[in-house]
A and B are shown apart, each in its own frame.
Chain A
Amino acid sequence: MSSAPVASAPMKSRINRNNLPTTLIVTLIPVCVALNIVGGYIASALRLPVYLDMIGTAISAIVLGPWWGALVGVLTNGGSALISGPVSLPFALVNVVGALLWGYGVRSWKMGRTIPRFFLLNVIVAVACTIVAAPIIVLVFGGATGNGADALTGTFLAVGQNLVGSVFSSNILTSLADKIIGGFVALAIIEALPKSLTANIDIVKATPLKGILLAVAGIVIGVLIIVIFLAINAGSGA
C-alpha cells in the first residue's frame, strides 16, 4: 500500500475566470453529472412524461461556463456508459450542444435577463438538441428510443413520413417540454445557490412553474399540429 499523495508545488492557477477555486469546480462537476443521472430517476419517480436529465448540464453551463457544462455533458454520458453500456455515448453530443447554448445564451448573449428571453433560449436548446439527437437515434437505434414517443414515431411513419422526419417530429415534442421545464427548474435551483457561485451571472429571478407549464402545453400542442400537418403532406406527396 502506498501513502496518500503528498502536496508539493501548488498549481500555477488555483483561481479561474469564474473567481472560483479549481478544487470547487473539480467537485462541482461530478455533482452536476450525478445530478443529471439522478434527475432522470426523480422524474420517473414523480411519474413525469419528461426526462429532466440535463438540469445538471444547464446549471453548470450557466454558473461555471459553457465549456464546463459541455464537460458535464460528456461525463454524464461517459458515466452512463459505465452503468448501462456504451450505446449512450453518442448522445454526449446532444448534452454538449445543450450546454454550449445554455452557457453562451445566458453568459454571452444575455438571454437570461427576462423570462421571455430565457424561455426562447430553452426553445432554441430544445430544437438544437433534437436536430443533433434525431440522426443519432436513427443511426444507432434505428429510430427507437424505447419510450412512449416511439408510438408517435410509428404513427408518423404510418401516414407516410420518412424515418428521420418521424423521429424528428416525435423527438421535438418531448424535447420542447423537457428542455423548457428543465431550464426553468435549473433557474429555480440557481436562485437558491450560494451567492458566491452566482454573483457574476446576469439572470432573471425564478418564476412559478405553473405559468411555464401552460406555455409549454401551448407550444407542444402547436408544434404537434404542425408536425401532423407536415407528416400528412409528406404522406400524400410520396
Chain B
Amino acid sequence: MSMQAALPIAMIPGNSIIHRINPLAKLVWVVGYVVLAFSTQNIIILYSMAAFALLLAPIAGVTRPLLKGALILVPVGSSLLALQIIAPAVERPWTIVDQLGPLSLYGDGVYYGFVLLGRIVASLLLALIMVMTTHPSDLFTSFAKLKVPYTLNFMLAMTLQLIPVFQREVGIIMSAQKSRGMKGSGFSAVLPSFVPVFVGAIERVQQLSISLESRGFGSNGIKTSYRQVKGRPSDWVIGIIGVLVVAYLSTISIMRGTWSLATEITFSPLFVLVTFLVAASLFACVVLAAVLFSFKK
C-alpha cells in the first residue's frame, strides 16, 4: 500500500518574492487573515481576501499544488452550503425563498453559508501558500525568535519530520502483514496494522532520547540554529501593512456588528434552488465516489 500521496502539503522549493519574505511576516498575515475572517461577515471582504491569496499563488509558483491542496474543501464546502440552506446557523426568523418537497430553502442560509465558506477558503488558501513557500526550519527558527520555548519548537519540528517516516513505515508493515495473509481492509486488520506501527515507533524513541541526552538537550545557555533567518526592512513593511490592514478592517467590522450584508444582498429563489441542488449533488457525488473507489480498491 502506498501512502506517499496522503499528505500532499509540503514546502515547494523556489526563489520567488513570496519565498524570500521572512516567515514571521508571512505568519502575521496568516494570523491576521484568520482574525479578520472570523470578525467579519462581509462577503466582499472575505472573497477579496481569498482572491488576494489566489493572486499570490502564481507569483510564488505554487498555483497547481495550491489548487490540489484546496480540493479538500470540496466535500466540506458543498456539504456546508447544502446544510446552511436548509438550516441556517443564524438567529430566527428565517426567510423561506423556495420549497423542495419537505425541505424549506432559506435565503438567510445562502448568505451565511457563503460567509462560512469564505472564511475557510480565505484562511486556508493563505495558510497553504505560507506552508508551501516557507522552509519548516526557517519557521521554527522564527518561532524561537518569538521566544517560543525550544522544547515546544523541537516537538513541533520533530512531528513534521516524523509524519513521512511513519507513512513509509505503515506501507512496509502493511505489505509485510499482507504477505502473511492479513486482510487489507476492515476491522480485522486494525490491530495487526496499528500495533506494530505504534509500538515500533515508540520503542525507537528510546534511542532518540539517549541521543538527545548525549547532546545536552535541556541544558541551559543560548540555543543556536543551523539556519539563520534575517528580517529585512521590506519584511517589516509587509508585516506592518498586514497588521494595519487587518486592524482597520476588523475594527470597522466589529463596530458595524460584523458588517453583514445579508439585508443588502438578496438571492432569487432560482439561485437558492440551484445552489442547493449543485451543493447537495456535489456532496453526494463525493461520498458516492469515495464509496465506489474503496470497493474498487
User: Is A226 part of the contact surface with B, judged by Cβ < 8 Å?
Assistant: no
User: Is B216 part of the contact surface with A, judged by Cβ < 8 Å?
Assistant: yes
For the complex formed, measure the closest distance between the CB of B127 and the CB atoms of chain A, giving whole angstroms.
4
Q: Of A141, A142, A150, A158, which one neighbours B103 at CB under 8 angstroms?
A: A158
For the complex formed, measure the closest distance between the CB of B2 and the CB atoms of chain A, giving whole angstroms.
9
Verify A145–B86 contact, CB threshold 8 A.
no
Verify B89–A163 contact, CB threshold 8 A.
yes
**A143–B119 CA distance with the chains assembled, in angstroms:** 14
Verify B194–A9 contact, CB threshold 8 A.
no
Residues on A with C-beta less than 8 A from B162 are 30-31, 34
Residues on A with C-beta less than 8 A from B197 are 35, 38, 42
The 0/1 profile, CB within 8 Å of B marked 1, for residues 202-231 of chain A is 000000010001000000000000000000
For the complex formed, measure the closest distance between the CB of B17 and the CB atoms of chain A, giving whole angstroms.
22
For the complex formed, measure the closest distance between the CB of A160 and the CB atoms of chain B, giving whole angstroms.
9
Q: Of B9, B123, B216, which one neighbours A6 at CB under 8 angstroms?
A: B216
Most buried by B among A139, A146, A158: A146
**A5–B228 CA distance with the chains assembled, in angstroms:** 14
**Residues of chain A in range 36-90 having any CB-CB distance to chain B below 8 Å:** 37-39, 41-42, 45-48, 52, 55-56, 59, 75, 78-79, 81-87
The 0/1 profile, CB within 8 Å of A marked 1, for residues 79-103 of chain B is 1101110111100000000000011
Verify A83–B30 contact, CB threshold 8 A.
no
Verify B83–A34 contact, CB threshold 8 A.
no
Verify B174–A83 contact, CB threshold 8 A.
no
Interface with B: A101-109, A123-131, A186-194, which one? Answer: A186-194
Interface of B is mostly: helix
With contact pairs A34-B163, A47-B185 given, residues A8 and B216 touching in the complex (Cβ less than 8 Å): yes
**Residues of chain A in range 122-154 having any CB-CB distance to chain B below 8 Å:** 138-148, 150-151, 153-154
B: contact size bracket: 35 or more
Verify A75–B159 contact, CB threshold 8 A.
yes
Chain A minimum-CB-distance residue to B80: A144
Verify A55–B198 contact, CB threshold 8 A.
yes
**A29–B273 CA distance with the chains assembled, in angstroms:** 49
Verify B185–A153 contact, CB threshold 8 A.
no
User: Is A3 part of the contact surface with B, judged by Cβ < 8 Å?
Assistant: yes
User: Is A11 part of the contact surface with B, judged by Cβ < 8 Å?
Assistant: yes
Verify A87–B123 contact, CB threshold 8 A.
yes
User: Is A92 part of the contact surface with B, judged by Cβ < 8 Å?
Assistant: no
Q: Of B86, B88, B155, B201, which one neighbours A158 at CB under 8 angstroms?
A: B86
**A3–B7 CA distance with the chains assembled, in angstroms:** 33
With contact pairs A144-B80, A145-B79 given, residues A27 and B212 touching in the complex (Cβ less than 8 Å): yes
For the complex formed, measure the closest distance between the CB of B223 and the CB atoms of chain A, giving whole angstroms.
5
Verify A143–B69 contact, CB threshold 8 A.
no
With contact pairs A2-B225, A151-B287 given, residues A10 and B159 touching in the complex (Cβ less than 8 Å): no
Residues on A with C-beta less than 8 A from B194 are 39, 42, 52, 55, 185, 188-189
Residues on B with C-beta less than 8 A from A146 are 72, 75-77, 79
Q: Of B76, B84, B160, B199, which one neighbours A79 at CB under 8 angstroms?
A: B160
Verify B209–A27 contact, CB threshold 8 A.
yes
User: Is B15 part of the contact surface with A, judged by Cβ < 8 Å?
Assistant: no
For the complex formed, measure the closest distance between the CB of B208 and the CB atoms of chain A, giving whole angstroms.
5
- Known contacts A6-B216, A22-B218, A143-B87; 19 additional CB pairs below 8 A are A2-B228, A11-B218, A14-B218, A38-B166, A45-B174, A78-B156, A79-B163, A82-B131, A83-B163, A85-B120, A85-B128, A86-B123, A86-B124, A138-B89, A144-B83, A150-B79, A153-B83, A188-B194, A209-B187
Question: What residues of chain B have their CB less than 8 Å away from a CB belonging to chain A?
Answer: 1, 3, 6-7, 9, 30, 34, 69, 72, 75-77, 79-80, 82-84, 86-89, 102-103, 112-113, 116, 119-120, 123-124, 127-128, 131, 136, 139, 151, 154-156, 158-160, 162-163, 165-167, 170, 174, 184-187, 189-191, 193-195, 197-199, 201-203, 205-206, 208-210, 212-213, 215-221, 223-226, 228, 280, 283-284, 287, 290, 294, 297
What are 11 A-B pairs at a CB distance below 8 A?
Answer: A7-B219, A10-B218, A24-B209, A38-B163, A41-B7, A48-B185, A79-B160, A144-B76, A151-B283, A154-B280, A189-B199
Question: What residues of chain A have their CB less than 8 Å away from a CB belonging to chain B?
Answer: 1-11, 14, 21-24, 26-31, 33-35, 37-39, 41-42, 45-48, 52, 55-56, 59, 75, 78-79, 81-87, 138-148, 150-151, 153-154, 157-158, 162-163, 166, 181, 185, 188-189, 192-194, 197, 209, 213
